[in-house]
Amino acid sequence: MAQRVRKAVLPVAGLGTRFLPATKAMPKEMLTVVDRPLIQYAVEECLAAGIEEFVFVTGRNKGAIEDHFDSAYELEATLEQRRKTVELKQTQNATLKAGNAIFTRQQKPLGLGHAVWCARHWIGREPFAVLLPDELMVSSPTCTAQLVTAHEMTGGNVVAVMDVPREQTGSYGIVATRNEKNGLAEMTGIVEKPKPEEAPSTLAWIGRSVLLPEVFDHLEKHETGAGGEIQLTDAMAKMIGHSPFHAMRYNGQRYDCGTRIGFLEANIAVALHRRDTAVETRVLLNRLLKG
């Protein structure tokens, strides 16, 4: 039987240069989609999948993330005094349970594989989820919950994938698969950012996985790949054939908040999706489009 997935690694060390000057003094993961920071969506996605322990791999100037998930005593006391119960609940919902979050620093920007490797002692020898918070997923069950289910079925590594236009393969880890059944296929390869003419398919890894701890044994070697960085996808490729490895077609919406337009799209889409903002957003958009 597959071991339960209890922990998630959230690599959040990136500089966010695409969002300068917004990210000059603030982590890009704290950029807001409607009313909560991007990082909170990733955490909520995990909580909905039964994952409650988090390893944040941070860098310099990322302190706001740690503060965000702490309890805010003075703020909460003030809200309570003013009987602002909804706001109090929203604030408390963003607090992680005591002892359930670890913040460790990736001291040098050596790549995503290196960032995940930095979490090794806190994960230990058990399966874990990896989420890149730049990617915002909206679905029920959540993307991570879908992966956890696939992991329970296969007992191995699972990555979430989606079809992308062939001209975009150079932006993603692209997988090769066989024997697809109900959206789940055996993975036979994964290549980091191949040119369109060299890509084995158009199925892109969308920054969500459940991985077995053996991935650390490969990351440990610190071998560099595409862009001279230690790539997580290269370590994944090395696991194929040694432990079960599947690619799962994600069923839901994905917004690439690593780009300005994707981030804008996420804000509009989430506002249109949420019951408390849908009607007003629709009216607003119609008015703006007419003008």
Where do contacts with ligand G1P occur on this chain (CB under 6 A)?
112, 132, 135, 172-173, 192, 204-207, 233, 258
- Cα–Cα distance for residue pair 178/235, rounded to 1 Å: 20
- Cα–Cα distance for residue pair 105/13, rounded to 1 Å: 8
What minimum distance in Å lies between the beta carbon of 279 and ligand G1P? 32
Between 172 and 263, CB nearer to ligand G1P: 172
Coil, helix or strand at residue 228:
helix
Between 29 and 192, CB nearer to ligand G1P: 192
- Cα–Cα distance for residue pair 190/218, rounded to 1 Å: 15
Selection from 195, 186, 111 nearest residue 156 by Cα: 186
Between 79 and 218, CB nearer to ligand G1P: 218
What minimum distance in Å lies between the beta carbon of 285 and ligand G1P? 27
Between 50 and 196, CB nearer to ligand G1P: 196
What minimum distance in Å lies between the beta carbon of 1 and ligand G1P? 30
Selection from 188, 184, 154, 153 nearest residue 174 by Cα: 188
What minimum distance in Å lies between the beta carbon of 97 and ligand G1P? 28
What minimum distance in Å lies between the beta carbon of 291 and ligand G1P? 35
What minimum distance in Å lies between the beta carbon of 173 and ligand G1P? 3
Tokens 């969506």 sit at which residue? 41
- Cα–Cα distance for residue pair 56/38, rounded to 1 Å: 14
What minimum distance in Å lies between the beta carbon of 79 and ligand G1P? 36
Taking CB atoms, the residue at the shortest distance from ligand G1P is 173
Between 10 and 204, CB nearer to ligand G1P: 204
Between 41 and 281, CB nearer to ligand G1P: 41
Between 123 and 134, CB nearer to ligand G1P: 134
